[in-house]
């Protein structure tokens, strides 16, 4: 299993198109349907960059978001299918919630507003980096 993230006390992992959401306190496991991969697992295209929940898993409007090397996936918890947004050249590395809005960052440090409905989408937020340092998820502000 590949580690994809933690969210609301849940551990999110995946392998070969299958995801698991594990409650680390109770051991309860939620197993979403298999990801609708269009790529080839043999060549590492299923690497999991990020996984997060939009709300606690028992909430009525909770979604599981999983980012791989080539796609961003959205599973409305309890449904039978995923939505897929195929990515161009960048992979989404991190998704966070800020003031009720989901914000995503790709591996080139571009920032996006994440839209869940009516269709899964990313809208780039114009960002101007200040200073001479390149942005990094490992650099302290």
Single pTM value for the model: 0.85
If DSSP codes are grouped into helix, strand and coil, which group holds residue 26? coil
If DSSP codes are grouped into helix, strand and coil, which group holds residue 42? helix
Greater model confidence, 14 or 10: 10
pLDDT confidence of residue 46: 57
Question: What does the alpha-carbon distance between residue 55 and residue 17 come to, in Å, rounded to a whole number?
Answer: 22
pLDDT per residue over 78-132, tens digit each?
A: 999 999 999 887 889 999 999 889 999 998 889 999 999 999 999 999 987 776 6
pLDDT per residue over 39-91, tens digit each?
A: 545 444 557 789 999 999 999 999 999 998 889 999 999 999 999 999 887 88
Residue 10, judged by CB atoms within 10 A of its CB (0-12, 13-18, 19+), counts as buried
- Here the tokens at position 24 are 């680390």
pLDDT confidence of residue 129: 73
Q: Tell me 3's DSSP state.
A: E
pLDDT confidence of residue 43: 46
């Amino acid at each position: 299993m590949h580690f994809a993230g933690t969210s609301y006390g849940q551990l999110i992992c995946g392998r070969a198109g299958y995801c698991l959401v594990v409650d680390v306190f109770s051991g309860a496991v939620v197993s979403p349907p298999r990801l609708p991969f269009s790529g080839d697992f043999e060549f590492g295209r299923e690497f999991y960059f990020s996984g997060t929940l939009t709300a606690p898993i028992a909430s009525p409007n909770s979604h599981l978001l999983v980012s791989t090397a080539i796609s961003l996936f959205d599973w409305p918890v309890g449904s039978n299918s995923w939505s897929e947004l195929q990515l161009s050249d960048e992979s989404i590395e991190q998704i966070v919630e800020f003031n009720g809005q989901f914000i995503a960052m790709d591996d080139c440090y571009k920032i996006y507003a994440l839209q869940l409905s009516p269709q899964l989408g990313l809208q780039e937020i114009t960002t101007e980096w200040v200073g001479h340092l390149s942005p990094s998820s490992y650099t302290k502000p």
